[in-house]
Amino acid sequence: MAAYIQRLHHISLHVSSADKISRELVSKFKFNLFAARLQDKSRQFAFKKGRAVFVVNERPNLGKTRLNERHEPNLEDFQAGKLNRESLSACLYDVTPHYSVDTVANVCFEVENVQRSFHTLRQLGCTFLVPPTTVRDDGGAVTYSVVKSIVGNVCHTLIDKSEYEGGFLPGFKLVGDARKDEEDATCPVTHFDHVTYACPRRFTHSVMDWYEKLFGFKRFFIGSGEDPDEGFVLDQEGIGLRLTAMEYWKCSEKGLTLPSAHQREPDCKFVIAESLPEQGRNQVDQFLQQHRGAGIQHIGLYTDDILSTAQSMSRAGVSFFCPPPAYYTEVGKQQEIVEAGHSPELLSQHGILLDTDLQDTEGTRDKTQGHERRYLLQVFTRPLFSEDTFFLELIERRGASGFGEGNIRALWKSVQTYMEKEEKNNNKNNQTLQSAKG
């Protein structure tokens, strides 16, 4: 029996300095800082846009602790009393990973009963980094526990907020104006649509099995003709990518059973990306190298109006990946965009990609039959941290629930071009440095 999830609560970033990313989340991505927890040695900030919540954890300043003296806290340490309260509380509702680069490392889920989930998952072999722990303030009590996932440095905090009436979580102080979120109509981001992992080769099956067995996730097919074992494979024209997707449903029923089909409401999807060796170095390998291991490569933010959101973010300084200009003038694509009621010129200004969901539209292409055309629009930002690792995506779905093959190809090519340019620049800078030294 799995430990079913009620809903995604927030996603945590772990960074060496919170200032830059916090400023950018607010000024560029239009998130609102709404809660904070400030300690002597650590700072945590919570940002909200619709139901999407990011918590930025600043790595605590461990003073003179030498690197080789630090290690990940674990349950045995905790039970043996070796973990001091400070190292636990430095980063409330999370662990304090001593990760060498900035990273997005925790997807926090609400569950009905943390103690029960803890026992279920422990029996299934899970490693817990924080055992069920209760935190209180004037708003009530919250119980949480942190489980290590099978993917790189990713952890999941499981949290029960049913006895809590405060604005966020005990220990956090509310800041700013909570109503501001509703005023910003130009950026209608509503929730996290999906989280994409970058994983080493041949690791996808283990990841799928883990999430299925422990949390009741179910596979769904990204494209027609997807092989159940191989996943959705793009393996030509320089693209070497294996994608597999899974989802879970918001589970609000009492008890442990999965909601019946008609009660199922999907929450955030999870995508696993693996690179294929035949097509040369690529963005997944680049992530694994720069991030120093598997992890969260990007997060899709759902918006009701991608054009307005991209315009507004772009004006505020967000850089998006743009496909080659030919993408928007190619006859087939131009027609597809126009038929979907969009303007190729406007989409091209921000690099917005459009893809028709072929799987869903079989037999429903003709609008005169009364069927709506199903498509999705996506645009991808440049990496957020100083390493080329994590980025954000905006996604607007018009009936399409999967991912578009054409969009994935276009994204792949634009990232590839960017990587090659960066590499050239780095080489040039190195040469300049060398000749200056010489």
User: Between residues 139 and 238, which has the closer beta carbon with respect to ligand ENO?
Assistant: 238
Residue 283 interacting partner from Fe ion, ligand ENO, none (CB closer than 5 to 8 Å by kind): ligand ENO
Only one residue has tokens 């001091």, namely: 84
User: Between residues 148 and 269, which has the closer beta carbon with respect to Fe ion?
Assistant: 269
User: Between residues 158 and 222, which has the closer beta carbon with respect to Fe ion?
Assistant: 222
Q: Does 300 interact with ligand ENO (rule: CB under 6 A)?
A: yes
> For residue 185, what are the contacts with CB-CB under 8 A and spacing of at least 6?
none
Contact of 131 with 12, CB cutoff 8 Å: no
Q: How far is the CB of 298 from Fe ion (least distance, A)?
A: 6
User: Between residues 149 and 378, which has the closer beta carbon with respect to ligand ENO?
Assistant: 378
Give CA–CA dist 25/188, Å, rounded: 15
Q: How far is the CB of 293 from ligand ENO (least distance, A)?
A: 16
Query: How big is the CA angle at 323 (ends 333 and 49), to the nearest 5 degrees?
Result: 100
Number of residues counted as binding Fe ion (CB under 5 A): 3
Tell me the Ramachandran region of residue 341: left when phi exceeds 0, alpha when psi lies from -120 to 50, beta otherwise: left
User: Between residues 169 and 243, which has the closer beta carbon with respect to ligand ENO?
Assistant: 243
Q: Does 393 interact with ligand ENO (rule: CB under 6 A)?
A: yes
Give CA–CA dist 208/422, Å, rounded: 33
Q: Does 283 interact with ligand ENO (rule: CB under 6 A)?
A: yes
Tell me the sheet residues that pair with 432.
none
Give CA–CA dist 350/334, Å, rounded: 16
User: Between residues 247 and 393, which has the closer beta carbon with respect to Fe ion?
Assistant: 393
Q: Does 18 interact with ligand ENO (rule: CB under 6 A)?
A: no
* Chosen residue from 25, 284, 318, 354 binding ligand ENO by CB under 6 A: 284
Q: How far is the CB of 286 from ligand ENO (least distance, A)?
A: 9
Q: How far is the CB of 178 from Fe ion (least distance, A)?
A: 29
- For the chain, the residue count is 438
Please give the structure tokens belonging to residue 406: 């054409």
Helix (H, G, I), strand (E, B) or coil at 160: strand
> For residue 276, what are the contacts with CB-CB under 8 A and spacing of at least 6?
201, 233, 235, 240, 241, 242
Burial class, 219, CB count within 10 angstroms (exposed 0-12 / middle 13-18 / buried 19+): middle
Candidate ranges 63-71, 169-177, 313-321, 408-416; the one touching ligand ENO (CB under 6 A): 408-416
Residue 180: name the closest of 21, 53, 30, 311 by CA. Answer: 30
Residue 282: name the closest of 321, 235, 245, 228 by CA. Answer: 235
Each residue 366-385 as x (binds ligand ENO by CB under 6 A) or -, in order, gives ------------x-------
Q: How far is the CB of 2 from ligand ENO (least distance, A)?
A: 24
Give CA–CA dist 193/35, Å, rounded: 23
Residue 273 interacting partner from ligand ENO, Fe ion, none (CB closer than 5 to 8 Å by kind): ligand ENO
Q: How far is the CB of 271 from ligand ENO (least distance, A)?
A: 5
CA 402 to chain centre: 16
Q: Does 146 interact with ligand ENO (rule: CB under 6 A)?
A: no
Q: How far is the CB of 10 from ligand ENO (least distance, A)?
A: 20
Q: Does 271 interact with ligand ENO (rule: CB under 6 A)?
A: yes
Q: Which residues of this chain interact with ligand ENO, rule CB under 6 A?
A: 196, 243, 271, 273, 283-284, 300, 378, 393, 403, 407-408, 411-412
Q: Which residues of this chain interact with Fe ion, rule CB under 5 A?
A: 196, 300, 393
